[in-house]
Amino acid sequence: MGLRERKKLAARAALSWAALRLAMEHGPENVRVEQIAAEAGVSPRTFNNYFSSKEEAICAIGLDRQERVRAALLERPAEEPLWEAVIASVLEQYGGEPDREMVARVRMQMRHPALLGEHLKAGMALERVLAEGIAERIGTDIRIDMYPSLVAGAVASATRVVMGRWLNADPPVELLPLMTEALRSLAAGLPQPPRRKKPSC
């Protein structure tokens, strides 16, 4: 890879990280692209060569995740059942400690309406990558078989649901068990009404 492309990658990453950092520190509304560009060491005009909006830059970090999910999925043993592999790959991302960094980031992206749109777009990109991975794993093509996309969509949607629930859980709960429960229940096929608690009567 030539110097040229490396610099482009670096500039993009620098801009994205700067945007995220400043947004986390001062709130997305109080960040000017001028600052972002300055912190990334490029001209303000250059910023818009990489991102078409401040919000896009802030949420672009989330696109890293999609590569990690793809890699994780590819590394699962081939004989493992599909759902097991998918669940393991996703859970891997949320393993380890709660990662306070990521918590605050996702919270910010889901709370500020201006960021939510870009956040969801990033989620869709992840969904696409996941679908491709699934397709490859079961020997299908995205274009002729909806199944991979359906699974990917359901999984992505479930992670969003879990995230949303977990972000404003009071009292706080563990993320990993929640995510595991959701994905397992998904893999089990979301069977009819599973348990109907009657809260009021």
Partner DNA sequence: GCGAAATATTGCGCACCACGCAAAACGTCC
Partner DNA sequence: GGACGTTTTGCGTGGTGCGCAATATTTCGC
Which residues here bind a copy of itself, judged by CB under 8 A? 52, 81-83, 113, 116-118, 120-121, 124, 127, 138-141, 144-147, 149-151, 153-154, 156-158, 160-162, 164-165, 178, 181-182, 185-186, 188-199
The one-letter amino acid code at 136 reads E
Written as one string, the DSSP assignment of 5-20 is HHHHHHHHHHHHHHHH
In the complex with a copy of itself, which residue's Cβ is closer, 102 or 120?
A: 120
In the complex with a copy of itself, which residue's Cβ is closer, 45 or 195?
A: 195
> Contact 15/36 with Cβ under 8 angstroms?
yes
Choice from 14, 24, 38, 42 touching DNA (CB under 7 A): 42
In the complex with DNA, which residue's Cβ is closer, 26 or 184?
A: 26
> Contact 13/67 with Cβ under 8 angstroms?
no
Question: Min. distance of Cβ 170 from DNA in angstroms?
Answer: 28
Phi, psi of 145 (to 5 degrees): -130, 120
Choice from 2, 171, 193, 199 touching DNA (CB under 7 A): 2
Q: How many residues bind DNA (CB under 7 A)?
A: 23
Written as one string, the DSSP assignment of 80-117 is S-HHHHHHHHHHHHT-SS--HHHHHHHHHHHHSHHHHH
In the complex with a copy of itself, which residue's Cβ is closer, 102 or 161?
A: 161
> Contact 23/58 with Cβ under 8 angstroms?
yes
Question: Min. distance of Cβ 14 from DNA in angstroms?
Answer: 10
Residue 5 interacting with DNA (CB under 7 A): yes
- Spatial neighbors of 106 by CB under 8 A, at least 6 apart, are 119, 163, 167
CB count within 10 Å of CB 27 equals 11
Binding partner of residue 192 among a copy of itself, DNA, none, CB cut-off 5 to 8 Å per kind = a copy of itself
Written as one string, the DSSP assignment of 130-169 is HHHHHHHHHT--TTT-SHHHHHHHHHHHHHHHHHHHHHT-
In the complex with a copy of itself, which residue's Cβ is closer, 2 or 193?
A: 193
Residue that has been written with the tokens 């400690």 in this structure: 97
Binding partner of residue 147 among DNA, a copy of itself, none, CB cut-off 5 to 8 Å per kind = a copy of itself
Residue 116 interacting with DNA (CB under 7 A): no
Residues forming contacts to DNA in the complex (CB under 7 A) are 2-5, 7-8, 11, 31-34, 42-50, 52-54
